[in-house]
Amino acid sequence: MNGCLRYYRFTSPAVSEAIATHSAQVKLLHEQGDAIAAAFGGKPLYSFSITGKRFHGLVFTPRLISPLWTKPDAKNGHVQWPRRGKGLAADRQAMLELRERWDALAPTASVDYDVVYKACGTDWGALIFAGGDFNIVGDMVYLVTRIDLTATGEEITGGEFQRATTAVQS
């Protein structure tokens, strides 16, 4: 591994299988996020990390001002969740009912990026140290990293990687 960024395109059958798995995980997560959003009237917000994507909470417009909901905070994307804890005695039953409803609908699905990374010949642990980013375009994975992945992918130019990234963002 050297200090230069390298750009790759992956098209193997293992990559196609990983993309199908990834797409199914994304679809399920979004279906569950949309369901809880519809039930409570908010918009789902997801958190991303090098390991994957998960449901983070709901964002309300306008923000909910209620003793039953947490106060929105810019640090967490203005997400709100039902409060946990004792609360006011008068609100305790309503809080418990809200929590029960929330817990029943809270998304359990998540998206595991390691499925894609492994099909490309690496994993999230290596990418933490070497850096990296990927995009899925159709049945191909485009990945940039400092790791030599020529054994599993085709090295491409930065311009081709940029065009693929732009296609995803459009």
Residue range 99-151, pLDDT digits in tens: 999 999 999 999 999 999 999 999 999 999 999 999 999 999 999 999 999 99
- Say if residues 137 and 156 touch (Cβ distance below 8 Å): no
Q: Cite the DSSP H helix spans in the chain.
A: 13-40, 92-105, 114-119, 124-130, 158-169
Percent of the chain with pLDDT over 70: 96
pLDDT digits over 23-32, tens only?
999 999 999 9
Residue 6 has pLDDT above 70, yes or no: yes
The pLDDT, as a whole number, for residue 2 is 61
Assigned token pair, 94? 């309503």
Contact residues for 164 (Cβ-Cβ < 8 A; gap 6+) = 9, 135, 137, 140, 142
Report how far residue 12's alpha carbon sits from residue 16's, in angstroms, rounded to the nearest whole number.
6
Classify strands 110-112 and 140-145 as parallel, antiparallel or unpaired.
unpaired
* DSSP count for the chain of H helices, then E strands: 5, 7
